[in-house]
Structure 1
Amino acid sequence: MSGNAIPRRRLFQIGAVAAGASLALPAPAFAGGHKPGHGPGHEPGHEPGHSSGHEPAGGTVNGLPVPKSWKAVPFDLNEVELAPSVFTEKRDRILAYARAYPADRILSNFRTAAGLDNLGAQPPGGWDDATGNLRGHYSGHFLSMLAQAWAGTGETVFKDKLDAVVTGLRQCQDAWAEQVGDPGTPPPPATWADGGLVLNRDGEGQYVGLPDATVDGLTAATIVIRLRIDELRTWSRAFDFGVGTGVNMFLTIDTGSGPRFAITTAGSGGEQRIQSSTQLPVGEWVDLTVTLTGQVGTLYVNGVPAGVNTSMTLTPAALGAPKNNWIGRSQYGDAGLKGTVGEFHLFDRALTEAEIAAGPSAGNLVAYHFDEATGTTVADSSGRSWDAAVVTGVGGAPGPSHAGFLAAYPETQFIQLEQYVTYPAIWAPYYTCHKIMRGLLDAHTLGGNPTALAVARRMGEWVHSRLSKLPRAQLDRMWALYIAGEYGGMNEVMADLAALTGDRTFLTTAAFFDNTQLLADCVAGTDTLDGKHANQHIPQFLGYLRMFELGAGTRYRAAAANFYDMVVPHRTYAHGGTGQGEVFRKRDVIAGSIVGTTNAESCAAYNMIKVARNLFSLTPDARYFEYYEKTLVNQILASRRDADSTTDPLVTYMVPVGPGSRRGYGNTGTCCGGTGLENHTKYQDSVYFRSSRHDVLYVNMYIPSTLRWTERKVTVTQTGDYPRTPSSTLTVTGDARFELRLRVPSWAWDTFTIKVNGKRLAVRVGKDGYAAVDRHWRTRDRVEIAFPYRLHTESAIDDPTLQSLLYGPLTLVAKSDSTQTLPLPANLADVHPGDRPLTFTAPGGLTFEPFFLGDTAAYHTYLRRS
């Protein structure tokens, strides 16, 4: 990077904000900037280090106004340059992917939906394929990644691609505007008949979608389905659960020689099959049952064994956390099931032959009897209330209801959400809207593109036009719907629009997204998170914080602070992640939730560290960065594989902690594939913070980097190889007085040392968890910091004998294929350094490595210590 790249980009960003946005919000929300050449708090009579705490922060950070309520302010992405380290290694692999990815692919679905030529470009794929109900979300993340990459590197390839995508989206928005008022045609209704649900009577492409976590973690199972087949279509599915053609399990009614059950984690070539030669009847009811236990899989037709495989090694748990859980639809796009579905049951054990011969009984995991008469909801009578949804198609594509609409599909999903249509008939339309709007705002604030703000503003006006007409009770019911009502951080992006445009109407729009009951619970400090979809709710609290910062009320801040304390540490694993099967589990249940392979969704970690970061700005306390560090150097670093690819982002969906877990990398087009793009292009965003008066510099992370503190005309260069080595050196260039606050990690509380210009200082840790050095700094001043690592353990809250081994901030994992919990030596002195840096060995030859190493080998995060 050239020496003047950062200042040039900085000027460009400031100019773009000034030209494209008004910051004239009322004084309680934001206050103005400062005089050129005079940092806030340095007027006569105000000595550095003696702020009253009431002065406005002023200025901007990453293109957004700095809230008056912030006591600690991060620096712009382009003011902090990373030096070589594990962070740049992970980042550079994502940047290679970003350079190679064609802009036309990002725009493909948008152009098709708007009736424009997509130039033959293939869409991203995954959940962002040409027909998926989440298409468009990945493109929004891609915009954010490009904006962050441009801000952090100054490479024009990212800026050029960013501008090309914004231009394309504006063209699509304009094309939609020409269609305003066209109502389209409604989708065909679900057809109910005596005995069940009729699928594909007239080729409508109907199927039934089951909840995400239906088969998660099952190592034994029985699946029962009752059908009346109208047409024996080869390869049409009775059911198909998976994440595409590579990972799935299905039962087809006919392969040409009879029905077949198959399960695979390696595509069709890796299928483990149960084939039957029993031809299924047409026009008659037939019961099909599959049992899986141990290595035995059996297929029954009308209660009679019709096929068996005694060499099965795969179970539903091997599928990870499949979201495509379908009755009547194929992962491969085969012909839909044509017939009537009468019952579907799922058990967490293998039923006996006698139980199967007796006919279907209610499954203990799901039980659908298809005895509804109307609607698209299939009620679950298992007691878990895991209702399924009939996907009925979208009918004729309607035009938008208001100018400003922009999506990669018609407005249908938004209309259906207002009618309480459930997932997966619709799939989080406002979540997708948020990703697009967030990407556009990042393109404006980080990339200096004024068109991006104009497009986002029009989208915001469209959102307001829809939601302002709805009563509060309807909004509350919409946002309570599982996944269908997931809206990401729509309240945050609307608040940011208010800040950038000065139009407080958008702050009103943000309040439409209040999740009323959960918001009230969190304000009161009442923990009701158990069973709630983790990442459906975490981003809401980012929005509440932004609304508080804009003057919308203190209850929003209270809710976010209390929510954070409900998750950290009460629902946090040793690597910083949270959730099982995307769902919050009971408070203080860690040992009881590590089974299976569906712990710690990457999106949840992405958003939780953003909550911690924002709370730190309001209340500078090291405890927020204690959690931030744990999550960043373990789960986030581990979420990018240590391999090069320009065609696959190689990021994780889940980062599990159960015994013998493995990480799956890839995830193009998924939610975590999207946040995974952003995770690795903003590592510099929280290394340093400053006080609102520019008289304190916080060093939160010891990541090798260079800070250009332009307001104080100071450069701080940090060298070392954290987290691989337990030390760091800060070198100052410039001349200024300020207080340097160094975060003292809890794991180094009694070993942390500081030397200034070779002289060791006494370390006094303040109540905020920082050690302060207040002096007049001059060029070549050096601060040497040491925070020696040592082995220690972290116990599961609900089982003190189940422990993780840590070395400083690094969670260590034991490499082993075993799926049984392994022993951890009672005496840590029996754990010795290995033959490679940061590795250790224990008696019996067990090897420990840092969690952040991105490979696919099996590992154990928790071990049993007597």
Structure 2
Amino acid sequence: MRLSLIAGYLFLSVSLCAQSPAQLKTFRLQEVKLLPGIFNDAENADLKYMMQLSPDKLLAPYLREAGLKPKAESYTNWENSGLDGHIGGHYLSALAMMYASTGDKQALDRLNYMIAELKICQDKNGNGYVGGVPGSKELWAAVMQGDVGAINKKWVPFYNIHKTFAGLRDAYTYAGNETAKVMLIKFADWFVMIATSITPQKMQEMLKTEHGGVNEVLADVYALTGDKKYLTAAYSFSHQAILEPLEQGQDKLNNLHANTQIPKVIGFKRISDVTADSNYNKAAQFFWQTVVQHRTVAIGGNSVREHFNPSNDFSSMITTEQGPETCNTYNMLKLTEDLYLSDPRVSYIDYYERALYNHILSTERPGGGFVYFTPMRPGHYRVYSQPQTSMWCCVGSGMENHAKYGEMIYAHDQNNVFVNLFIPSTLNWKQKGLVLTQHTNFPEEEKTSITINAVRPGAFAINIRYPSWVHTGALKVTVNGTPIKVSAKSSAYVSINRVWKKGDVIGVTLPMQTTTEQLPDGLNYEAVLHGPIVLAAVLDTTNMRGLLADDSRMGHAAQGKLYPLQNMPMFVNASLHDAELIDPVAGEPLTYRAQKLIYPARYSSLKLIPFYKIHDARYVIYWQRETPESLAGIQKKMAEEDAAAQRLAAITIDMVNAGEQQPESDHFIESEKSGTGVNRDRHWRDARGWFSYQLKDKNKETGSLRVTYFGRDIDRHFSILVNNQQVAQVTADGSKGNGFYTEDYPIPADVLKSSNGVLQVKFQAADGSMTAGVYEVRLIKK
């Protein structure tokens, strides 16, 4: 529609962008500054955390591998147990983003120092390589000679060095460090050398292990240089076993390690962007669609114990303490941004917003510290990193997450601005002479306003996102206080085209509704949302062992007491309209009660507040939903299942889920002629050679080793050794039926006595045979 303007300007055109606009670009972080608010607070806490880290400690693995003397000892935890150097790579990216976002000089000085020291390492290596992988020279020499199995003897080395590769790119693209650009291209040459040294078949075999987004950065280097050798290498580093089903629209993701796959797909998308490869683009689009629609919980995260749970069974999401991993959502947001910019659908921003507020924002403790797993299990809690002890992947991605909040608030095409997120901020589009400020207390207030602070003459459009959570026709827009009639619907943009002047103000009202949302498989658990904001309840603040992580290998997981699920508060209602029974608390923004819903009565006074506000506490996000009739039966069943799980947990000293990447890494997997797979949604490992784990028993109280097998394995002959002493000879003859079963093997006292608190459990195939598939290994108390 068109309306005349009293103020002497030509016209105001308000329309609905029902179709996606053409390709967009984000603004540089330097052009968007956060104003006071929850995101600015998170940015400041992140900067403080980053400045507590020692650059020389982070640089130590790089210097060591270059044959130079480190200036300080390396950090412990993941930084000295096989993934040495990965945090240093993330640190480059985070420093560059933080400097771009804030202009903080200390961040820039740190970045420049890191780059200068890494250049010394790269120059010393002499071949473009720069990394902290233990035994780098021997490893990469073996790989280039065709021994791609050498990769499996290290802790995901390509994943590790991808962080440095990406960090060099970010140091140049975000912070303009020219030395980093030169180093990036030299490192890309090294990756090209890897790709051209081995056959395509061996490359695909090697890509079965986690390797980050090497293909993405190689595509970026191609875009930077125009040299097609980098594009060829990007294609070489693209895992066809993942790509091909996605191109065909096939979801083959069940039980795969989630964060191994997401960076690969980011690479597919980046390749498609620089080449217009429609198949790679189709693969990325389908992956996003199936993960977001079928594998994502209310907070925007995904995965159980780092793996994609079956899309039709989210029961493990409720029972485990290892819920959605922060790194997964970090990477899903990167993929979402890339997809949005080439095809600017509001649905991408709807997901981005959901994940940003409810997962990413929630994973930083206000005083500093990052979260690895966010349990969906009712009544559990999260663990927070500490700067000197915690060197997990989610610390690295966490430092990046809170340094780039300005990236997707706004976007633009050649002339027009798109307002995507309702975050207090200032945009300075120097190229167009436009300065605007967004003032908002969203989500605690259902409105935002945009003030034009400076503008050059000429008409252009400011496009306001119409979120999916605002009902059709409910979004209200004013310009300088005058209401604008907009025929619009959600999941589109409202486009306001006019000749803008300094002082113009756009007002936007964003009515939010309280809703409930089930798990994607329809399991009778539901979350409560107000608009896009997930609401949760604080249960208590007790029994949170390891709340602040030490430097132990599994310090990132909340290993405190699991509260019985049947004792957790739930929703009980005879009707299907739970949201109608959730009431706002007067005088407390975004605070609700559900006294008419919550059972048992002792929990009825619980308050529901934004999950991003809950820290240092046990909480409930997902509420079991029952009717009065179903309550008694389901509680009895849950009590029986939970009691069995509690009994097993009480007698377990240490355990490993065989075939799952991170649990195996945490237990120092070693193997020869070994493979993994999935049966009935459970992972297994077997071998024609051997495999081993290191399990801990610091109090020397183990009585036996409990191993889980599948009954149909046949003609498998193998031995089990503990600290190199045979404790059992096993024959699997297929006689145990079509299901899983366990066997207990006593551990001799002399083995335990001489163990130093660590038991190496080894499965060794007999000559000409192989081990059974091993699903789980536990140390059981006497």
Give the TM-score, by structure 1 length: 0.63
Corresponding position: 1:664 with 2:424: no
Shift of 1:442: 1.0
Give the partner amino acid of 2:375: P
**Quick check: which one's helix share is greater?**
2
Question: 1 CA distance for matches of 2:333 and 2:261?
Answer: 14
Q: Secondary structure of the equivalent of 2:188?
A: helix
Q: Secondary structure of the equivalent of 1:725?
A: coil
Residue 245 (structure 2) aligns with:
521
Q: Work out whether residues 124 and 138 of structure 1, in 8 Å CA contact, stay in contact via their aligned partners in 2.
A: no
Shift of 1:790: 2.6
Residue 511 (structure 1) aligns with:
235
Corresponding position: 1:176 with 2:121: no
Give the partner amino acid of 2:32: V
Shift of 1:854: 4.6
Q: Work out whether residues 111 and 408 of structure 1, in 8 Å CA contact, stay in contact via their aligned partners in 2.
A: no
Residue 123 (structure 1) aligns with:
74
Question: 1 CA distance for matches of 2:52 and 2:490?
Answer: 48
Q: Work out whether residues 577 and 631 of structure 1, in 8 Å CA contact, stay in contact via their aligned partners in 2.
A: yes
Unpaired stretches in structure 1, ≥5 consecutive residues: 1-46, 55-68, 178-401, 645-649
Question: 1 CA distance for matches of 2:589 and 2:174?
Answer: 38
Q: Residues 423 and 598 from structure 1, CA distance in 2 versus in 1: closer, same or farther, beyond 3 angstroms? A: farther
1:856 to 604, 607, 616: 616
Which residues in structure 2 correspond to 1:158-169 (within 5 Å)?
158-169=107-118
Q: Deviations over 1:677-717 (max 9, x none)?
A: 000000000000112x22x2111100000011122211110
Residue 744 (structure 1) aligns with:
466
Shift of 1:847: 2.2
Residue 569 (structure 2) aligns with:
822
Question: 1 CA distance for matches of 2:421 and 2:73?
Answer: 40
Residue 762 (structure 2) aligns with:
none
Which residues in structure 2 correspond to 1:376-415 (within 5 Å)?
402-409=127-134, 410-414=136-140
Give the partner amino acid of 1:125: T
Shift of 1:432: 1.2
Give the partner amino acid of 1:677: M
Give the partner amino acid of 2:460: F
Q: Work out whether residues 114 and 176 of structure 1, in 8 Å CA contact, stay in contact via their aligned partners in 2.
A: yes
Give the partner amino acid of 1:726: E
Residue 161 (structure 2) aligns with:
433
Q: Deviations over 1:362-394 (max 9, x none)?
A: xxxxxxxxxxxxxxxxxxxxxxxxxxxxxxxxx
Q: Work out whether residues 591 and 802 of structure 1, in 8 Å CA contact, stay in contact via their aligned partners in 2.
A: no
Q: Residues 416 and 722 from structure 1, CA distance in 2 versus in 1: closer, same or farther, beyond 3 angstroms? A: farther
Residue 678 (structure 1) aligns with:
400
Q: Deviations over 1:243-298 (max 9, x none)?
A: xxxxxxxxxxxxxxxxxxxxxxxxxxxxxxxxxxxxxxxxxxxxxxxxxxxxxxxx
1:813 to 502, 511, 536: 536
Question: 1 CA distance for matches of 2:278 and 2:354?
Answer: 29
Which residues in structure 2 correspond to 1:96-245 (within 5 Å)?
96-119=48-71, 121-129=72-80, 132-177=81-126
Question: 1 CA distance for matches of 2:271 and 2:308?
Answer: 25
Q: Residues 724 and 128 from structure 1, CA distance in 2 versus in 1: closer, same or farther, beyond 3 angstroms? A: farther
- The list of structure 1 runs, each at least 4 consecutive aligned residues, that deviate by more than 6 angstroms after superposition, is none
Question: 2 CA distance for matches of 1:440 and 1:853?
Answer: 34
Give the partner amino acid of 1:824: F
Give the partner amino acid of 2:590: L
Q: Sequence identity, in percent?
A: 31
Q: Residues 842 and 545 from structure 1, CA distance in 2 versus in 1: closer, same or farther, beyond 3 angstroms? A: same
Aligned residue pairs total 567
Residue 270 (structure 2) aligns with:
546
Question: 2 CA distance for matches of 1:486 and 1:684?
Answer: 30
Q: Work out whether residues 451 and 506 of structure 2, in 8 Å CA contact, stay in contact via their aligned partners in 1.
A: yes
Question: 2 CA distance for matches of 1:671 and 1:403?
Answer: 24
Q: Deviations over 1:203-245 (max 9, x none)?
A: xxxxxxxxxxxxxxxxxxxxxxxxxxxxxxxxxxxxxxxxxxx
Residue 713 (structure 1) aligns with:
433
Q: Work out whether residues 823 and 864 of structure 1, in 8 Å CA contact, stay in contact via their aligned partners in 2.
A: yes
Q: Work out whether residues 304 and 316 of structure 2, in 8 Å CA contact, stay in contact via their aligned partners in 1.
A: no
Q: Residues 82 and 561 from structure 1, CA distance in 2 versus in 1: closer, same or farther, beyond 3 angstroms? A: same
Residue 599 (structure 1) aligns with:
323
Question: 2 CA distance for matches of 1:623 and 1:449?
Answer: 35
Shift of 1:811: 0.4
Give the partner amino acid of 1:110: Y
Residue 660 (structure 2) aligns with:
none
Which residues in structure 2 correspond to 1:342-357 (within 5 Å)?
none
Q: Residues 94 and 732 from structure 1, CA distance in 2 versus in 1: closer, same or farther, beyond 3 angstroms? A: same
Residue 57 (structure 1) aligns with:
none
Which residues in structure 2 correspond to 1:380-779 (within 5 Å)?
402-409=127-134, 410-414=136-140, 419-421=147-149, 425-480=153-208, 485-551=209-275, 553-591=277-315, 593-644=317-368, 650-666=369-385, 668-691=390-413, 693-694=414-415, 696-733=416-453, 734-735=455-456, 736-750=458-472, 751-765=474-488, 769-779=492-502
Give the partner amino acid of 2:591: T
Q: Work out whether residues 497 and 506 of structure 1, in 8 Å CA contact, stay in contact via their aligned partners in 2.
A: yes
Question: 2 CA distance for matches of 1:676 and 1:433?
Answer: 18
Q: Secondary structure of the equivalent of 1:780?
A: coil
2:594 to 819, 842, 853: 842
Give the partner amino acid of 1:719: H
Q: Residues 403 and 789 from structure 1, CA distance in 2 versus in 1: closer, same or farther, beyond 3 angstroms? A: closer
Unpaired stretches in structure 2, ≥5 consecutive residues: 1-12, 541-562, 596-603, 628-782
Q: Residues 825 and 79 from structure 1, CA distance in 2 versus in 1: closer, same or farther, beyond 3 angstroms? A: farther
**Comparing 554-563 with 738-747, which one deviates more in the overlay?**
738-747
Give the partner amino acid of 1:444: Y
Question: 2 CA distance for matches of 1:439 and 1:833?
Answer: 45
Give the partner amino acid of 1:486: E
Q: Residues 164 and 535 from structure 1, CA distance in 2 versus in 1: closer, same or farther, beyond 3 angstroms? A: same
Q: Deviations over 1:145-197 (max 9, x none)?
A: 110111111121111111111000010111222xxxxxxxxxxxxxxxxxxxx
Q: Deviations over 1:794-849 (max 9, x none)?
A: 11232263210111111011222554253225443433334743222222212222
Q: Secondary structure of the equivalent of 2:526?
A: strand
Question: 1 CA distance for matches of 2:445 and 2:452?
Answer: 21
1:803 to 526, 532, 535: 526
> What RMSD over aligned residues (CA atoms) do the two structures have, in Å?
2.5
Q: Work out whether residues 469 and 532 of structure 2, in 8 Å CA contact, stay in contact via their aligned partners in 1.
A: yes
Q: Work out whether residues 591 and 799 of structure 1, in 8 Å CA contact, stay in contact via their aligned partners in 2.
A: no
Shift of 1:541: 1.2
Shift of 1:408: 4.7
Question: 2 CA distance for matches of 1:828 and 1:552?
Answer: 45
Q: Work out whether residues 812 and 851 of structure 1, in 8 Å CA contact, stay in contact via their aligned partners in 2.
A: yes
Shift of 1:630: 0.6
Q: Residues 833 and 424 from structure 1, CA distance in 2 versus in 1: closer, same or farther, beyond 3 angstroms? A: farther
Q: Secondary structure of the equivalent of 2:224?
A: helix
Higher RCO (CA 8 Å, separation ≥ 6 residues): 1
Q: Deviations over 1:453-497 (max 9, x none)?
A: 1112111111111221211211111112xxxx2111101111111
Q: Deviations over 1:730-780 (max 9, x none)?
A: 001314421222111222124321111111112333685222212221111
Q: Deviations over 1:508-549 (max 9, x none)?
A: 111111111210110110110001110001011111111111
Q: Work out whether residues 309 and 316 of structure 2, in 8 Å CA contact, stay in contact via their aligned partners in 1.
A: no
Q: Work out whether residues 438 and 493 of structure 1, in 8 Å CA contact, stay in contact via their aligned partners in 2.
A: yes
